[in-house]
Structure 1
Amino acid sequence: MDMITKLASQNAAVIFSKSSCCMSHATKRLFYELGVSPAIHELDQDYRGRDMELALLRLGCNPAVPTVFIGGKFVGSTQKVMSLHLDGSLVPMLKAAGAIWL
């Protein structure tokens, strides 16, 4: 869990992902289209990926990916991120964290 917390706090926006996951792709695509350059940790390409996946599951993320952190704080999965985007809350969160400067 310490590894997740550390990685999540190193950038304004962090996405834990798997390269083969369509929901991960959709979440990354949304962030790129908003002008965000998130730190992305591809669990299927990292030697610590299985440990990170287990830590995310313990955090309550089910499925473990994609999982998004903004400003070092746990946001949630694609469903939560998309809900925030649709209600207009995502961009202000990203601005407050310093992930975008629109």
Structure 2
Amino acid sequence: MDRVARLASQKAVVIFSKSSCCMCHAIKRLFYEQGVSPAIYELDEDPRGKEMEWALVRLGCSNPSVPAVFVGGKLVGSANTVMTLHLNGSLKKLLKDAGALWL
């Protein structure tokens, strides 16, 4: 749990992902297209990935626990939440407030 919290606060946008997850790929792409360069942690490529995945579940990430997106060190949520924020226009403001976007 401490490792997830520490990693989540090291950059304006942090995504916990799995390399084989299509929704994770879509969310990463969304951030890149917004001009954001997130820190990405591929849980299936990390020796402590399972441990981090359980920590994400305990933090409130539903099943599946990835993608789990943190903005400004705070858990935003999964793909559904991020897409909702993007479609209603509030994701950009969130990213600007966190210092991930300057435009």
Over the matched positions of the two proteins, sequence identity in percent amounts to 70
Unaligned runs of 5+ in 2: none
TM-score of the superposition, structure 1-length normalised?
A: 0.98
Q: How does 1:1-102 map to 2 (within 5 A)?
A: 1-62=1-62, 63-102=64-103
Regions of 4+ moved over 6 Å: none
Residue 59 of structure 1 deviates from its aligned partner by: 1.3
Cα deviation, 1:29-80, whole Å, max 9, x if unaligned, reads: 0000000000000000111101000111111212110000000011000000
Which one-letter code corresponds to 1:79 in the other structure? N
Unaligned runs of 5+ in 1: none
Tell me the distance in 1 between the aligned counterparts of 2:16 and 2:41: 5
Secondary structure of the corresponding residue to residue 68 of structure 1: strand
Which one-letter code corresponds to 1:75 in the other structure? V
TM-score of the superposition, structure 2-length normalised?
A: 0.97
Secondary structure of the corresponding residue to residue 16 of structure 1: strand
Tell me the distance in 2 between the aligned counterparts of 1:71 and 1:54: 21
